[in-house]
Amino acid sequence: MNAPALGVALTGHWLSLAQILRLARRADELGYAVVLVDGDTTLLPRRASAPIYDTAALTARVLATTTSARIGSIRLPGFWNTALLARNLLTLQQASHGRALGFLGAGAGRHASRLGMPQLSPRARVERLEETLDALRPLLAGEEVTRNGRYVQLERAFVGRPSEPIPLVVAAAGPRALSVAERYADVWDANVPPLRERLEPLREQLTRALETWIWVFARPGAPLEAVASAYRRHCPWFGELPEKSLAEAVLWGEPERCRERLAALTDALGVSLPILDLTALDERAALVALEALAPAKAANIS
């Protein structure tokens, strides 16, 4: 069974800038196709030891320290003026010779007041995501855009066309957000546990085929009990997942078992890119996981 292409998520705001850069560089060397870095701050408890970085600056820095992988961070429409978001993505795309990603989601909305932002309802956040994408896609196609929506107001906005198209990745699981992803996304980031019974009912709602990515919580070398505990803690939005399903949704045990399970999971789900979720691992443990599951087989696996 061939090893699938892989991405990795270094999200969660638990690493220093130097650690993120070292891990991103190593992931790039090992052949990971996508590296995602810190984005949504609204879910996080306040931790003095864990800096919360600006997404645009961090993405630019990671792009500068890598050479092959596509780089992105989760952008929440509520934190951006749409024209300025388009300008930022275009700049990153030009500076990186085509490796930037436009990764958007509605966000959880909790604790938004910490950033001086209103706490919107789930419906309102999806509406804002829809208005943002409705303007962002033509802006990035080089069009002049005027909008007078509830959340996005633009008068003849223009940023220009990047030398290479910027893939728009939209995280979605609910029916309304999924409808938005279907209309505007190049890639659907399936925001559900990597289980066929969770993914297929959503895919059946789509009327066109969409490249699909899905996150897989990964702890190669760790026993199931420890991985289950970490998953419950760091992915509380999937807290209702029963123990039997959880054991199938996460990667645990010896690295060889993890690689086999990951390949089988990718094939069974029909996803083009599984993304290893390494949230909350320290730098050493994250490096071990990166090397243990590396798609380029360039790792030193003990």
Question: Which among 301, 188, 274, 259 is positioned nearest to 9, based on CA atoms?
Answer: 274
Which structural domain, as residue segments, surrounds residue 218? 1-75+192-302
Same domain, 54 and 96: no
In tens digits, what is the pLDDT along the chain, a chain of 302 residues? 455 699 999 988 888 999 999 999 999 999 999 999 986 555 555 566 777 888 999 999 999 999 999 999 999 898 899 999 999 999 999 999 999 999 999 986 666 677 677 778 889 999 999 999 999 999 999 999 999 999 999 999 999 999 999 999 999 999 999 999 999 999 999 999 999 999 999 999 999 999 999 999 999 999 999 999 999 988 888 888 898 899 999 999 999 999 999 999 999 999 999 999 999 899 999 999 999 999 865 433 32
Residue 181 lies in a domain: no
Question: Which among 297, 298, 281, 277 is positioned nearest to 36, based on CA atoms?
Answer: 277
Residue 187 lies in a domain: no
Burial of 54 (0-12, 13-18, 19+ CB in 10 A): exposed
Same domain, 204 and 146: no
Same domain, 231 and 127: no
Residue 180 lies in a domain: no
Same domain, 49 and 81: no
Is there a contact between 75 and 58 (Cβ–Cβ < 8 Å)?
no
Same domain, 213 and 149: no
Please report the pLDDT score of residue 299 as a whole number.
Answer: 39
Structure tokens of 165?
A: 């198209």
Structure tokens of 155?
A: 């008068």
Same domain, 16 and 45: yes
Is there a contact between 187 and 212 (Cβ–Cβ < 8 Å)?
yes
Same domain, 286 and 199: yes
Please report the pLDDT score of residue 100 as a whole number.
Answer: 97
User: How many domains in the chain?
Assistant: 2
Please report the pLDDT score of residue 1 as a whole number.
Answer: 43
Same domain, 207 and 242: yes
